Structure 1
Amino acid sequence: MLGLDATPGISKTNLWACMGLGFLGTTVITFLPAGQPYILNEVLGLSAGDLGRITGYLQIAAEVALILSLTWYGALADRIGRRPVAVAGLLLCAAGAALYPFAGNAAVLVALRVLFALGIAALHVTMSAITADYVRDRTRGRAYGWLGLFSGIGAVIAVLVLVRLPSMLEQGGMEPIAAARTGFLIVAALVVVGALALRFTLSPSWGVTETPRVPLTRLIGEGVRLARDPGVALSYAASFVARADLALVASFLSLWIVDYARSVRGMSATEALAKSGAIVGIAYTVIVVGAPLFGWLGDRMQRQHVVILAQAVAAAAYLSTLLVSDPLGPGMMLVAAFIGLGEIGVITTAGPLLAQQVPARYRGSSFGVQVLCGAIGIFVVSGVGGWLYDLWRPAAPFALSGACGLLVVLFGLAVRRRVVPHPEVVAAERAGEPAA
C-alpha cells in the first residue's frame, strides 16, 4: 500500500487507518488554534491590544498540560497499546472543540484549551509511534512522508473549509456567537465519528509491552536516557523547534493576518478570518506537496543529513518574516510557502531518525519524550513570542523560532558523523522481522 513495506501482522486496513489518524488528528489540532481569533474577537470581544498576550497565555497553558502528560502518554502507549491512547486523544480534542465557543471568559477558555491539549498530547505520541510500528525501516521515511501528506490535507481542510464554518453560518443569517458555537460543534461531531471508525481499524495489538510489565516510571526514564545517543538527541532537538513552528503557523500567523486586516485594512472579523485562512492555507498546501518529497529523501539520504537540510530550510523561512511589511501581500504568500516546506520537512524527517535509533519496546516512550521536547519548544517560543508580538512586532515569534532552528542546524552538523542506527533495529531489518 503506497509503496510501504508493512511489518508482519499489519494489514492494508491498518495502514490506511494510520493515515486516517494523521488526517483526522491534524485536522482537529489545526482547526481550533486557527479558529481561535474568531472566538477571541466575536465571542469574548477582546480588544486588539490584548490579543497577543491572551494568545500567548492560551498556548502556554496548553503546553504546560502537554509537558505534564506527554511522557506518561508515551509510556502508557508502550504499556496498553497505541490504539486506546489514540482514540482517547481524539475524544478529548472533540470535547475541547465542542465547548470552546461556550466559554464566558478567558479563564474558562484556558481550562478548555488545557483539555484540548491533553488530547493533542495523546495524538502526537501515537501518530508517530504507530507509523514507526506499522512499517519496516527501509520504507519508514516514505511512511512519514505519506503521513505528512495526509496530515497536510487535513490541515488544509481545517484552514480553508472548517475555519470558515462560523463565517458561512453568519452569512446565512446566524448571530456571530451562535455561528461560532454551531461551527465548532459540527467539527467536534465529525471527530467523534472518526474516532469510532479508527477504534475498529487500527491494529489492537501493536505497542503492548511483553510481560513482565515494565513500570511506567522506568519506561519514561528510558525515553530520557536514550538522549545520550547523538541521533536521538538531534531528533529531540529538531522536535523542539518543529512543534513550535507548527504552533506559530496555527496561532500567531493567523493572529498577525487577522489583526492587520482589521486594524489597517478595516475588514470585518469574518473577512479577516477568511483572508487568514487563504494565506495560512498556502503553507499547508505546500505541506501536502513537500511531505512525500522529504519522505522520499529520508529513505535515500542518511537520516541525520535530511533532518539538518529540512531544519535549515525552516530556519531561513521563519527568519524571512522580518522582511514582510504587509501580511496580506504577495511577499507573505511566498514566505508562507517556504514556512510550510520547512515545517513539514523537519516533522517528516525527525520521526524516522528517532525510530532507527531506539528499540521498539521503548518506541512509545521515546516518541513521548520527543513530543515533550516539542511542547517545551512551543512553551518557550509562544510565551516569549507572545510578549514580543505586542511589544516589538508581529514577526517576532517567527524570528525567535528561526534563530532556534539555526542552533539545531549547528548541533546537527557537529554530531552527524556520530549517528549510528541502533544494532537491534539493524538486525531486525536484516532478518525481515520487526524490532521488539
Structure 2
Amino acid sequence: EIVLIVTSTLIGAMSDRTGRRIIFVGGLLVLAAAYAIYGYVDDLTQLIIVQLILALGISLSNVMIIAVQVDYADEGSRGKLVGFTGVAIGLGQLLIGVFFTRLPNIFVDRFGVPELVAGEYTALTMAGFAFFTAIIALIGLKPGPPPHITEHLPVRTLFANGVAAGRDNPRILLAYLSAFVSRGDMVVVGTFFMLWLTQAGIAAGMPADEATKVAGMRFAIIMMTALVWAPILGFINDRMDRTTLMMLALGVAAIGYIGIGFIPDPLGALMFPILIVIGIGQMSVTSACQTLVGQEAPPAARGSITGMFAFGGAAGILFITKVGGGIYDSVGPAAPFVLIGLFNAALFVYAIFVRRLPQTRPVIVAG
C-alpha cells in the first residue's frame, strides 16, 4: 500500500502524457515478471524486492483500470461498465479462492511434483494469466495519448491538476473521500470479519477448522450479495443522479457497518440480514464513487484525477489496516466495523450537502 500511495498519483499524471495503453500493458508485464520470479527467491531481501516490484505492477494496473473506465464509457452507460467490472473483480476473487489456492495441491497430487516446485508452478501460472491479460490490453486499447489532450504539460502540472480538481469540484472531492472509505470497507470485511467469526466460533466450543468453515460461509454471503448486486446497480447507476446514488450508497453502508456492532451474537441468525446489507453497501459505495469520478473528471485531467482517486483508496487501506487492527485488540472485534461505518455516515452527511450544489458542467444521464 505504501508503494501504491507513493506511485499512484504519478502514474495517473504520466498516463495523461503517454496514454493509457503503454502504462496498462507495462503494469501487467511487471506483474507477470514479478510472479515469474516469485517462487525462486532465496532470502528475505529478495522476497521484499520482488514484493515491491509486484506492488508497482498492481499500482500501474489499478490506476489504469479506473482510467480506462473513465475514458471509454459513454456517460449513459458508465454505470453498467463499472457494474460489470465489479462482477469481473468478484469473479477474479472467486477464482483465487476456488482454484489458485488449490493449485499447489493439484500439482502435488495429480502430477507428483515436490511441494516447493508446486509453489513455483503456481506462481508461473499467475504470471501466465498476467501476460495473457497484457496481450488483451495491447490489442484492445488505443495507443498514444487520449485524443482530447492537445498539449503535453509537465507531469508536476498534471499532478497539480489532480489535486486542484478535488479542491475546485466538491463532487470530485466526494469521490476521492469515498475511494478512501470504499477501500476501507473492503479491508474491514476481508481482514477482520473472518478473524472475528473464527475466534467467536472457537470461543463457542467449535474446533478451529469448523469455526473457519462457518466464518467462510458467512463471508461468502457478503461476497455473493455484492456479486449479484453489482450488475443491478450498474443499471440503476445510469438512471439516477450520480451524487444522489453516492449519498444513498454511503447511507446503506453506514447502516450495515454500524449495525453489525449491535449484534449480540456474531454467529446468530440476526447476522444474516446485516451481512446482506453490508454486501450491498460495499459494492454500492465502490461502484458509485468510480462512476461519480468518471462523470466529473475533465477529459484533459482524467489520468491525474484517477491517480488521486487511487491514492485515496490506497490510503484508506493502509489507515484501516493499522487503526482497525489496533482497536480490534483494544476495544473489541466489532470496533473496526463501527469505525468504518462512522466514516460512511460522515460522508453521507457531506454527500447531502454536495447534492444541493449546482453541477459544475453539463452531464448526460440515460433516462
TM-score range, shorter chain: 0.7 to 0.9
Return the match for 1:280 from 216, 219, 231: 219
Matched, 1:412 2:351: yes
CA distance in 1 between counterparts of 2:233 and 2:98 reads 24
Aligned to 1:369: 308
CA distance in 2 between counterparts of 1:262 and 1:101 reads 34
Matches within 5 A, 1:135-154: 135-154=73-92
CA contact (8 A) 2:16 2:149 kept: no
Return the match for 1:385 from 324, 329, 335: 324
Higher RCO (CA < 8 A, seq sep 6+): 2
Encode CA deviations 1:180-215: one digit per residue, 9 max, x unaligned: 554344333222222223222222246367453111
CA contact (8 A) 1:80 1:209 kept: no
Amino acid at match of 2:175: S
Amino acid at match of 1:284: M
Amino acid at match of 1:64: I
Return the match for 1:201 from 140, 143, 146: 140
CA contact (8 A) 1:125 1:371 kept: yes
How far 1:253 sits from its partner (Å)? 3.4
Count of matched residue positions in the alignment of Structure 1 and Structure 2: 362
Range moving further from structure 2, 339-348 or 162-171: 162-171
How far 1:178 sits from its partner (Å)? 5.8
CA contact (8 A) 2:246 2:285 kept: yes
Aligned to 1:245: 185
Aligned to 1:45: none
CA distance in 1 between counterparts of 2:271 and 2:183 reads 21
Matches within 5 A, 1:99-178: 112-166=50-104
User: Percent identity, aligned pairs only?
Assistant: 32
Encode CA deviations 1:193-249: one digit per residue, 9 max, x unaligned: 222232222222463674531111001100100112111111111111001222333
Matched, 1:236 2:185: no
Return the match for 1:265 from 181, 206, 215: 206
What TM-score do you get using the length of structure 1 for normalisation? 0.72
Aligned to 1:22: none
Encode CA deviations 1:265-295: one digit per residue, 9 max, x unaligned: 3345xx8776665543433322222112222
Matched, 1:360 2:299: yes
Return the match for 1:308 from 242, 247, 256: 247
Cα distance 1:134–1:314, how it changes in 2: closer, same or farther (>3 A)?
A: same
Cα distance 1:334–1:252, how it changes in 2: closer, same or farther (>3 A)?
A: same
Encode CA deviations 1:342-389: one digit per residue, 9 max, x unaligned: 121112111221222221110111111111111111121111112223
Amino acid at match of 1:133: D
Cα distance 1:222–1:403, how it changes in 2: closer, same or farther (>3 A)?
A: same
Cα distance 1:286–1:188, how it changes in 2: closer, same or farther (>3 A)?
A: farther
CA distance in 2 between counterparts of 1:294 and 1:214 reads 37
How far 1:83 sits from its partner (Å)? 1.3
CA contact (8 A) 1:224 1:366 kept: yes
Return the match for 1:86 from 24, 29, 35: 24
Cα distance 1:326–1:106, how it changes in 2: closer, same or farther (>3 A)?
A: farther
CA distance in 2 between counterparts of 1:170 and 1:388 reads 41
CA distance in 2 between counterparts of 1:275 and 1:178 reads 32
CA distance in 1 between counterparts of 2:272 and 2:43 reads 34
Cα distance 1:95–1:221, how it changes in 2: closer, same or farther (>3 A)?
A: same
CA contact (8 A) 2:15 2:145 kept: no
Aligned to 1:48: none
How far 1:332 sits from its partner (Å)? 5.3
CA contact (8 A) 1:159 1:281 kept: no
Matched, 1:74 2:12: yes
CA distance in 1 between counterparts of 2:107 and 2:196 reads 24
Aligned to 1:57: none
Classify the secondary structure of the residue corresponding to 1:418. coil
Aligned to 2:3: 65
CA distance in 1 between counterparts of 2:265 and 2:37 reads 34
CA distance in 2 between counterparts of 1:98 and 1:275 reads 35
Amino acid at match of 2:29: L
Cα distance 1:305–1:184, how it changes in 2: closer, same or farther (>3 A)?
A: same
What TM-score do you get using the length of structure 2 for normalisation? 0.84
CA distance in 1 between counterparts of 2:298 and 2:42 reads 47
CA distance in 1 between counterparts of 2:51 and 2:295 reads 34
Range moving further from structure 2, 242-251 or 357-366: 242-251
